[in-house]
Amino acid sequence: MEMIPVSSSNIKAIGYDEENAVLRIEFNKGGIYEYYDVPQYEFDGLYAADSKGSYANQNIYKNYRQQKIG
């Protein structure tokens, strides 16, 4: 999965596997998490958000199954 660096105080990079609906988030302080069954529009919203951390807090973290992978 290609990771895209983003400008955020909390998030270092994001990636999305459209075929499997998997969102990957790499955090600035370490740790990589995958979020499962995430629709494309959520990735697009995260990528476009002025505050990636706020968007992820409101729309991703609590709404999708997750697993720490790194």
| pLDDT tens-digit series, residues 18-40 | 999 999 999 999 999 999 999 99
Q: Give how far Cα 5 sits from Cα of 22, 25, 68, Å.
A: 17, 10, 19
pLDDT at 70 over 90: no
Contact between residue 46 and residue 56 where contact means Cβ atoms under 8 Å apart: yes
Pair of tokens at residue 57: 């807090």
Tell me the average pLDDT across 48-65. Answer: 97
pLDDT at 67 over 90: yes
What element of type H or E holds 64? none
How remote is the C-alpha of 64 from its chain's centroid? 11
Pair of tokens at residue 58: 């409101």
pTM above 0.85, yes or no: yes
Q: How far apart are CA 53 and CA 20, in angstroms?
A: 23
